[in-house]
Structure 1
Amino acid sequence: MDIHHTTNSFNKHLFGPNFHWGVSTAAFQTEGAWNANGKGPSIWDTFTQKKGKVHGNQNAFVACDFYNRYEQDIDLIKQLNIPNFRFSIAWSRILPDGTGIVNQDGINFYNKVIDYCLQQGVEPWLTLYHWDLPQTLENRGGWTNRESIEWFSGFVELCAKHFGDRVKHWMVMNEPAVFTGAGYFLGLHAPGRTGLKNFLPAVHHVTLSIAAGARKLRSLLPDVVIGNTFSCSHIEPYSAKANDVAAAKRADVLINRLYIEPLLGLGYPIADLPVLQKLEKYFKPGDEDALAFDFDFIGLQNYTREVVKHSFFTPYISAKLVEAKTRNVPLTEMGWEVYPQAMYEILKKFSAYPQIKRILITENGAAFKDTLQDTRLNDILRIQYIQDNLQQLLRAKQEGCPVDGYFIWTLTDNFEWAEGYRPRFGLVHIDFETQQRTIKNSGYWYRNFLK
């Protein structure tokens, strides 16, 4: 099945010769083999075994079986002309207890993945932490324990030692706002903790860990390119009323500014969200300076916009999201609004920080209801979504935003955290009963675009 959606007027050359095109995945969502060859349990292995936490009580014990099928999937990346592959290291696969004894089988696996990428002419981009903390460390307090900074630095050092000779692009952590917010405040993600007493120490220790991990990489691998990825949504007030505008500003602090600003050396945005003053309880001497790192690039992950209104009953921020499904707008399977202009707005917002030298979009994509007919899957909505987002990225780039990369989320349909296997984001369809891979029309569109 082939398609030719790419018009001559819109092609990759508009983005310049040094633009990085890629696709992103995550270890927990794809690898499976959850307890194979010495791997220890992660917080997500534990969380998915609790009833009612994941749609349909599904788990990722097998997922996409990437652990056994990595060659097949990297072959697909090559077949689709995708030059860059972003994937993550499962911490408990190489350090089953989080620290201490190294699992050589785990090291060997990632060496094979990296080597096969390079053999196929695909550049590996490593994310060190994509939400799967070893369960043994969670038992010791996880990110609420200040020792997590040392645990994480040890993990980073091990990865640098084993993979740093071949991997040139590194991302320290994926979307800290999501895994601390959903995992340590709302309890919707692993480890399922709630409340400020868990959230605030996790925020501070995670931010310190990102900076410490980046410094560790810089000291061990002075020539590599180091970034970090951040989830971000364009925020708009529900109305022009002063209290809605103020609510949107507070939501923006939590969703977009909480991590990037201290890492840029600006400190936490306490003035615009006073509850963050409580972070001071977790500060130690020297933390102010230790929070900052001069990253080579910032990875932004944008999917949608959020509309926010004042809410007297929402603690701490007095703001709530107005759900997209109530606003009569086009939606993805995740219930997110299809709003490509968010890409432009977010790029303009982040490029306004003078400390940010370079931006890559390290995730962007959409889940739609995909129907496989024979061996064909014509996902027109996904193709349109990607094209429209790229148009907005190009608009920002032409206005001077220092953006030079775009990675689609994701290669194959996978385990989508608390949503289980229902939402499908892949360029490649997976039948999870048989593990049969089928390239969707969006995959063929991307292949032709990148040709």
Structure 2
Amino acid sequence: MNKFLWGSATASYQCEGGWNEGNRGETQWDNFSHHSALNINHVNGDVASDFYHKYEEDIKLLADGGQNTFRFSIAWSRIIPDGVGEINPAGIEFYNKVIDTCLKYHLVPNVTLFHYDLPKPIYDIGGWENRKTITYFVRYAQICFKYFGDRVPLWSTINEPNYYSYCSYIVGNYPPNKKLDFNAFCKSGYHLLLASARVVREYKKLNLPGRIGIVIDTSNVQTKRSDDLSMKAARKADLFYNKWVTDTVCKGYFPQQLFTLTKDSGIDLSFVKKADKPIFMSGIVDFLGLNIYSRAFIKPYTEGKTEVFMNNKGKNSKVKEGIKIKDWFETDYDPDIPRTKWGSELYPKCMYDELMDIKKNYGNILIYITENGIGEYETADKTGYVVDDERIEIMKKYICYMLKAKKEGVNVQGYYAWSTMDLYSWVNGYEKRYGLIRVDFDHDLKRIPKKSYFWYKNLILQNTEEG
């Protein structure tokens, strides 16, 4: 793969639908969206974008849009319906069709093994808090490598272990909806990274002609001031948001300061086993997938209890995203930086800052921008066409900063817009639209490329030589 990869991305639960077809098993998200009172927007992924039935139409639209790669995730519960038992031939058949269709249209398949949708039977025994989940995940990964590894050159073990744990155990808006449970956050995060390391080891044993990495949600840490207190807070924030993942997967183990700080904060680290360290050391990734949306603008902790803020109601809420962790740091707010309707900063320069920071800390490691984009409320014209000029302007800035970092020596070799088409945006539902392609959820899930789809096609064409 010498050519720069230009594509877009999806995730299984967010786009597939077909939740009870093809012998697929139930996931934690099926259970949450069907039964939980915390599903505040009262939507689910039962049908989603119906990629399960429309995959060839969608993949052809990518190719017609000039894209040469497609990032998607495999649903564990399609491969092993209960997560631990028998292999499901219908699931194997479905993903074989998806992969073969990618190759038919000359798209490089970029596959993520776990993107939030844990099989419910594993969720019921504690999910990633339970060390047994690691063993189950390794077996699932081995099955995927066996059936798909000959045609998939890019694999990611876990999508956003940091953000997944953050929403599940700190914010509490993702199942199991535990709020400010830092013990569970640390335990699940440790198990996620140990599972990733074991899967990386398994993949490398097979000598397959591909690469394996991990996808992380990066939050480049910045402060208003550079005094000693601010720098100490920034280091703590960087450990919390980023380094517990990036140091571990790139250098082979967690930063020592992290153990000191978590112990001082009263975290029970009994889940850390001495025998695990060689596994981490031998599970270093081939590449980093970076999901880059915003920075973490912080200041030293001031006073008061630990608390967290998340906006899942969009324009119906005034909440700005942020967190305060006692004795660690707290979110700062810059009134001069615009925000999305969901309360997060719009700061495209974070793309450049994060890429340069990765190069500074980890050298020439291979990087793919595995997600970047913006969610919007959108209104189509009478033909179904969406003029999403704001998305175009914002993506243009992010991509310019990416190309600037590439020119300055960062080993970034691909960019994936989030998302391929409009899809289920977790707790936010379907009003929050990220797609380059509109999905008309009210009329047979018809696909209508947006203005951004054609702009992106032209941008790819212009940057083919530069890539």
The answer, yes or no, to whether TM exceeds 0.5 is yes
TM-score (norm 1): 0.91
The code of the aligned residue for 1:218 comes to K
Q: Which moved more, 1:307-316 or 1:409-418?
A: 307-316
Question: 1:58 aligned to 2:40?
Answer: no
Q: Which moved more, 1:182-191 or 1:151-160?
A: 182-191
Dislocated runs of 4+, deviation >3 Å: 238-245, 272-275, 277-280, 315-318
Question: 1:306 aligned to 2:296?
Answer: yes
Residues 436-451 of structure 1 mapped to structure 2, 5 A cutoff: 436-451=446-461
* 2:406 matched residue in structure 1: 397
Instruction: Provide the rounded CA distance (Å) in 1 between the counterparts of 2:37 and 2:231.
Output: 36
Alpha-carbon offset, residue 17 of structure 1: 6.9
Alignment partner of 2:297: what SS? Answer: strand
Question: 1:154 aligned to 2:139?
Answer: yes
Alignment partner of 2:270: what SS? Answer: helix
* 1:412 matched residue in structure 2: 421
The code of the aligned residue for 1:429 comes to R
Instruction: Provide the rounded CA distance (Å) in 1 between the counterparts of 2:254 and 2:403.
Output: 31
* 1:11 matched residue in structure 2: none
Instruction: Decide whether aligned partners of structure 1 residues 100 and 62 sit closer, same or farther in structure 2, where only a CA change above 3 A counts.
Output: same
Instruction: Provide the rounded CA distance (Å) in 2 between the counterparts of 1:53 and 1:62.
Output: 20
Alignment partner of 1:126: what SS? Answer: strand
Q: Which moved more, 1:417-426 or 1:217-226?
A: 217-226
Of 273, 283, 292, the match for 2:272: 283
The code of the aligned residue for 1:231 comes to D
Instruction: Provide the rounded CA distance (Å) in 2 between the counterparts of 1:130 and 1:221.
Output: 25
Is the 2:67–2:460 contact (alpha carbons within 8 Å) kept by the matching residues of 1?
A: yes
Q: Deviations over 1:74-114 (max 9, x none)?
A: 11111111110000000011111101111111111111111
Instruction: Decide whether aligned partners of structure 1 residues 271 and 399 sit closer, same or farther in structure 2, where only a CA change above 3 A counts.
Output: same
Aligned length: 434
Alignment partner of 2:125: what SS? Answer: coil
Alpha-carbon offset, residue 317 of structure 1: 5.1
Instruction: Decide whether aligned partners of structure 1 residues 148 and 311 sit closer, same or farther in structure 2, where only a CA change above 3 A counts.
Output: farther
Alignment partner of 1:261: what SS? Answer: helix
Alignment partner of 1:286: what SS? Answer: helix
* 1:330 matched residue in structure 2: 338
Instruction: Provide the rounded CA distance (Å) in 2 between the counterparts of 1:210 and 1:23.
Output: 23
* 2:235 matched residue in structure 1: 249
Is the 2:82–2:121 contact (alpha carbons within 8 Å) kept by the matching residues of 1?
A: yes
Of 380, 383, 395, the match for 1:386: 395
Question: 1:433 aligned to 2:442?
Answer: yes
Alpha-carbon offset, residue 170 of structure 1: 0.9
Alignment partner of 2:222: what SS? Answer: strand
Of 143, 147, 150, the match for 2:128: 143
Alignment partner of 2:106: what SS? Answer: coil
Is the 1:164–1:221 contact (alpha carbons within 8 Å) kept by the matching residues of 2?
A: no
Alpha-carbon offset, residue 25 of structure 1: 0.7
* 1:361 matched residue in structure 2: 369
Question: 1:237 aligned to 2:242?
Answer: no
Residues 68-107 of structure 1 mapped to structure 2, 5 A cutoff: 68-107=53-92
Q: Which moved more, 1:328-337 or 1:265-274?
A: 265-274
Instruction: Provide the rounded CA distance (Å) in 2 between the counterparts of 1:442 and 1:279.
Output: 48
Alpha-carbon offset, residue 149 of structure 1: 1.4
Instruction: Provide the rounded CA distance (Å) in 1 between the counterparts of 2:168 and 2:98.
Output: 29
Q: Which moved more, 1:87-96 or 1:189-198?
A: 189-198
* 1:371 matched residue in structure 2: 379
Measured on the aligned residues, the alpha-carbon RMSD in Å equals 2.0
Q: Which one scores higher on RCO, CA 8 angstroms, separation ≥ 6?
A: 1
Instruction: Provide the rounded CA distance (Å) in 1 between the counterparts of 2:333 and 2:91.
Output: 42
Residues 31-70 of structure 1 mapped to structure 2, 5 A cutoff: 31-70=16-55
Is the 2:80–2:88 contact (alpha carbons within 8 Å) kept by the matching residues of 1?
A: yes
Alpha-carbon offset, residue 184 of structure 1: 2.8
Q: Which moved more, 1:359-368 or 1:213-222?
A: 213-222
Is the 2:296–2:331 contact (alpha carbons within 8 Å) kept by the matching residues of 1?
A: yes
Alignment partner of 1:291: what SS? Answer: helix
Alpha-carbon offset, residue 183 of structure 1: 1.1
Alpha-carbon offset, residue 191 of structure 1: 2.5
Is the 1:25–1:88 contact (alpha carbons within 8 Å) kept by the matching residues of 2?
A: yes
Instruction: Decide whether aligned partners of structure 1 residues 51 and 129 sit closer, same or farther in structure 2, where only a CA change above 3 A counts.
Output: closer
Alignment partner of 1:70: what SS? Answer: helix
Residues 61-210 of structure 1 mapped to structure 2, 5 A cutoff: 61-194=46-179, 195-210=181-196
* 1:217 matched residue in structure 2: 203
Alpha-carbon offset, residue 328 of structure 1: 4.5
TM-score (norm 2): 0.88
Question: 1:295 aligned to 2:285?
Answer: yes
Alpha-carbon offset, residue 132 of structure 1: 0.6
The code of the aligned residue for 2:73 comes to S
Instruction: Provide the rounded CA distance (Å) in 1 between the counterparts of 2:290 and 2:268.
Output: 25
* 2:316 matched residue in structure 1: none
Alignment partner of 2:31: what SS? Answer: helix
Q: Deviations over 1:250-278 (max 9, x none)?
A: 22211111111122235323415744344
Alpha-carbon offset, residue 323 of structure 1: 5.3
